[in-house]
Amino acid sequence: MTAAGMTAEEIRIAGIVVRFLVEAEATAGTATLFEFDVPAEGHEPPPHSHDSWEETIYGVRGTLAWIVDGVTTTVGAGEVLVIPRGVVHSFENSSGELATQLAVITPGLLGPGYFRDLAAIFDAGGPPDLAAALDVMRRHGLTPAL
């Protein structure tokens, strides 16, 4: 852990790279902040919601298409999207270029453990165990919308 709760760790999951910039301990649990890169044609995770936190997305570079409550909104550099608690959402990158976005989780209930647990499933070799990935989502407060 470095200043302001920042970790240097890059967590890689199926082509997506996640870097936690501020963890909950640095904010007394009020927020977490992570940056993530999504390669061209990348998408993750499956549609889901979370009842215990809001998620605010800020575009850094490239463009992601966010599907929030059935409505598609593109988020590019300098644009913001707020995802309220309990609303089903997902994203995809069909832009043909790498997209980088920041996510602010309030309160800070989602941490790097979620992404590490998913990475372990995707790095296990062979096709990922989707049932195990859905279980990880549920254990970390995400509700898959299947």
Q: Which pLDDT score, from 0 to 100, does residue 8 have? A: 64
The mean predicted confidence, pLDDT, of the chain is 92
* Token pair 């407060």 in the structure block, residue: 141
pLDDT at residue 93 is higher than 70:
yes
pLDDT at residue 1 is higher than 50:
no
Mean pLDDT on 14-43: 94
Mean pLDDT on 71-88: 98
Residue 129 is given by DSSP the state -
pLDDT at residue 6 is higher than 70:
no
Before 47, cis peptide (omega within 30)?
A: no
How many CA atoms, within 13 angstroms, populate the side-chain half-sphere of residue 68?
Answer: 18
In angstroms, the Cα distances linking 33 to 18, 60, 67, 68, 94 are 10, 13, 21, 20, 24
Structure tokens at 6: 């920042």
- Shortest CA distance to 111 belongs to which of 38, 48, 41, 19? 19
Q: Which pLDDT score, from 0 to 100, does residue 125 have? A: 85
Residue 77 is given by DSSP the state B
Condensed to tens digits (0 to 9), the pLDDT of residues 112-143 reads: 999 999 999 999 888 889 999 999 999 999 99
DSSP 35-53: EEEE-TT-B-S-SEE-SS-
pLDDT at residue 14 is higher than 90:
no
Condensed to tens digits (0 to 9), the pLDDT of residues 96-117 reads: 999 999 999 999 999 999 999 9
The letter for the amino acid at 146 is: L
What whole-number distance in Å separates Cα of residue 109 and Cα of residue 79?
Answer: 24
Give the CATH fold of the 3-144 domain.
Jelly Rolls (2.60.120)
